[in-house]
Amino acid sequence: MIRKILEQTEKIDTKLSTLRDLSAKATREMSARVSGDAITREDYKEHHDNWTTYEKEIRHLTKLKEDILEQARDLTPAERVYLARYSSRPHIDDFIDGLFTDFFEQRGDHLHDEDQSIRGGIARFHGVPVTVVGHRKGRTVEENIECNFGMPRPEGYRKALRIMKEAEKFHRPIITFIDTPGAYPGLEAEEHGQGEAIAQNLAEMSTFTVPVIAVVTGEGNSGGALALAVANRVLMLENAVYSILSPEGFASILWKDANRRDEACEIMQLTAADLKRAGVADEVVPEPLGGAQEDPQALFEVLDQMLLDTLKAYSGLSGEEIRFDRNEKYREIGREVG
């Protein structure tokens, strides 16, 4: 159902964009007639009538879109997976622009290569220096290819670790953004030590004495996600998913049939609500109806406050207390659900 809902709202958004442009043009024409010397009542009335027609249609389509989005409540796990992968959702570039200032990107692993599927650097969050690292998928076909569809190679994980170790050295909190189908499984990646790179990240992140906050924004699959998510606090967007592998992979292994992915979604316990109950996720970040792409600014405002509150909770703790808190989080996972 969510696919049809988004197809309908996309068509409405296209019409709304055109109507808003026409309405703005009519407004400019009216202003020009009022300020000009050659104004006539008929001329002004024509543009005013056009503006009234456009605004009436805008109100109608806006209400229609709201009614359609009402159907997007109580989504199934499979529908949330679809939303988590939706190309129009905010990506790390959007989160950096919407939440941080003075971002300075750092590139390369200083060993072999630069991996565009990981983006990271230094920024300010409410004036406080922080380190930001996350997966990057890209939005266009060209960007998808350049970023390897968000599947990092070993060089990407080593770049992320290099940036995070610098944060540890200079006592900067670390904020990571998780959105990946998984680590790249290609032969070259394995030859370059994919498993070792991920394991090294897990080991090093568990020892950090600065707060680490991970935000799962889309899909977070397998060790490719966990390599940036050994955190004191894990926040998940309402329609994000976080699991040991993709539903298609799960269905292929269990039933030898990837087409049973919807069935797999039901039993994998991969939604934000499921993982909050299990103690994996600490907070669920609410999204607008229909997904984060419907109102990114509203999402940024909510997430901004949640990140601020989380960082304040660690501001008075020593490094050892922060490290102990992170270790305790992982010891406690799953106890509540037996």
DSSP 294: G
* Closest of 220, 136, 128 to residue 174, by C-alpha: 128
The pLDDT assigned to 337 comes to: 56
Tens of pLDDT along the chain (338 residues)? 888 898 999 899 999 999 898 888 877 776 765 555 455 556 667 767 788 888 899 999 999 999 889 988 889 999 999 999 999 999 999 999 999 999 999 998 888 889 999 999 999 999 999 999 999 998 889 999 999 999 999 999 999 999 999 999 999 999 999 999 999 999 999 999 999 999 999 999 999 999 999 999 999 999 999 999 999 999 999 999 999 999 999 999 999 999 999 999 999 999 999 999 999 999 999 999 999 999 999 999 999 999 999 999 999 899 999 999 999 999 988 776 55
| Amino acid 137: pLDDT | 93
Residue owning tokens 């290819």? 145
**Tokens standing for residue 293:** 């792409």
The residue among 297, 107, 325, 137 whose CA lies nearest residue 213 is 325
Cβ atoms within 10 Å of 131's Cβ, excluding its own: 24
pLDDT of residue 26: 77
Pairing relation of β-strands 174-180 and 233-237?
A: unpaired
Pairing of strands 118-125, 128-135: antiparallel
pLDDT digit string (tens) for 212-250?
999 999 999 999 999 999 999 999 999 999 999 999 999
Residue 256: count of CB within 10 angstroms of its CB: 8
* pLDDT at res. 139: 87
* CATH code linked to domain 80-332: 3.90.226.10
